[in-house]
Amino acid sequence: MNKGSIKSDLVRIDRMSDEDIDYSDIPSLDEKFFVSVTMPPKKQLTIRLDPDVLDWVKRHGKGYQTRINRILRMVMESHPPAPPSKPRSTAQSKQRPGRAPKRRSAPRAKRSAPAAK
């Protein structure tokens, strides 16, 4: 199929009225379908972007945050899934990446009072 035939098909379809379209082979969608189709809630975060990147995204009109999400989703879906990460302990999660954990010394023994003579 070449671009010319696709364009002519699109022009033909665009000229069709809704009454001319045959929907008989499409199953009807009931309420149960729409209940099961939900997107997970979005998470709010703070992100730092280069000023020129933010300007570029905002220049394309309203909805720049949605646009950033779509761009990131396209990149994510075009790459193989990353291996699952190991769960981190509370101490590890507070540690900044790339830094060695602080060494903790052994608890000091209590000094006893000097013996009386």
Tens of pLDDT, residues 31-76: 887 777 777 888 999 999 999 999 999 999 999 999 999 999 999 9
Torsion of CA 32, 23, 10, 78, to 10 degrees: 30
For the ranges 11-25, 66-80, 83-97, the lowest mean pLDDT is seen at 83-97
pTM of the model: 0.42
Q: Among residues 103, 78, 101, 77, which one has the least CA distance to residue 90?
A: 101
pLDDT score recorded for residue 99: 60
No. of helices (H) and no. of strands (E), the chain:
5, 0
Q: Which of 75 and 88 is assigned the larger pLDDT?
A: 75
